[in-house]
């Protein structure tokens, strides 16, 4: 068991991936702090934003595997495919899900406000709980690119 943990800790490709994710999340906090002048620690684990932590993580892993094992290996091929699927998902499916959540929030809250207006004066007569589906789950192409570039840099810098 001790050997397992020792090998786990010494896995440089895994370290590159974890560092890619970690530095992206820290950068999100710092960029958010710079732009909004508010410290939002939720950005340390939250999805979405610049740079994409998923993109940084898989790109750091892919570059590290290329460096340690070469580009002519099945392991590298697997990492490249995993990288592309992750990047596509971040910009496609997850981003679209966030857009759907934004529209659902808007329309469901409008309906709730209208239903709470029992006398027709345009003002809710009963308290309405706001519907707040998570909207910030995907990435723009620039956020993904930022994550990829960060991941490449980390994959190159890991000894």
pLDDT tens digits, one per residue of 10-19: 899 999 999 9
**pLDDT of 135:** 65
In the predicted model, what is the mean pLDDT of residues 98-115?
A: 80
* Mean pLDDT, all residues of the chain: 86
Q: Residue 139's pLDDT is what?
A: 75
At 125, is the pLDDT very low, low, confident or very high (cuts 50, 70, 90)?
low
pLDDT digits (tens, 9 = 90+) for 23-66: 999 999 998 888 888 887 777 777 777 899 999 999 999 999 99
User: What's the average model confidence in pLDDT over 138-152?
Assistant: 90
Give residue 92's pLDDT band: very low, low, confident or very high (50, 70, 90).
confident
Percent helix, strand, coil in the chain (nearest 5)? 70, 0, 30
Q: Per-residue pLDDT for 83 more than 90? A: yes
pLDDT band, very low/low/confident/very high, at 101 (cuts 50, 70, 90)? confident
For residue 57, which of 102, 15, 107 has the smallest C-alpha distance? Answer: 15
pLDDT-derived band at 145 (thresholds 50, 70, 90) equals: very high
- DSSP assignment of 55-122 equals HHHHHHHHHHHHHHH-SSSHHHHHHHHHHHHHHHHHHTHHHHHHHHHHHHHHHHHHHHHHHH-SSSSS
Percent of the chain scoring above 90 in pLDDT: 43
Looking at residue 109, its pLDDT comes to: 78
Does residue 23 sit in helix, strand or coil?
helix
pLDDT of res. 108: 81
* CA pseudo-torsion sign 128, 124, 97, 150: negative
């Amino acid at each position: 068991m001790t050997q397992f943990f020792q090998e786990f800790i010494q896995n440089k490709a895994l370290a590159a991936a974890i560092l890619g994710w970690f530095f992206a999340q820290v950068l999100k906090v710092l960029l958010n702090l710079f732009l909004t002048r508010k410290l939002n620690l939720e950005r340390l684990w939250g999805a979405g934003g610049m740079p994409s932590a998923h993109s940084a993580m898989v790109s750091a892993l892919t570059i590290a595997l290329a460096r340690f094992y070469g580009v002519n290996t099945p392991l590298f091929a697997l990492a490249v495919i995993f990288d592309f699927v992750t990047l596509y998902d971040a910009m496609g499916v997850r981003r679209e899900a966030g857009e759907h959540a934004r529209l659902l929030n808007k329309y469901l809250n409008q309906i709730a406000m209208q239903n709470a207006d029992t006398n027709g004066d345009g003002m809710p007569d009963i308290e309405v709980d706001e519907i707040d589906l998570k909207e910030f789950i995907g990435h723009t192409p620039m956020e993904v690119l930022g994550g990829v570039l960060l991941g490449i840099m980390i994959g190159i810098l890991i000894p």
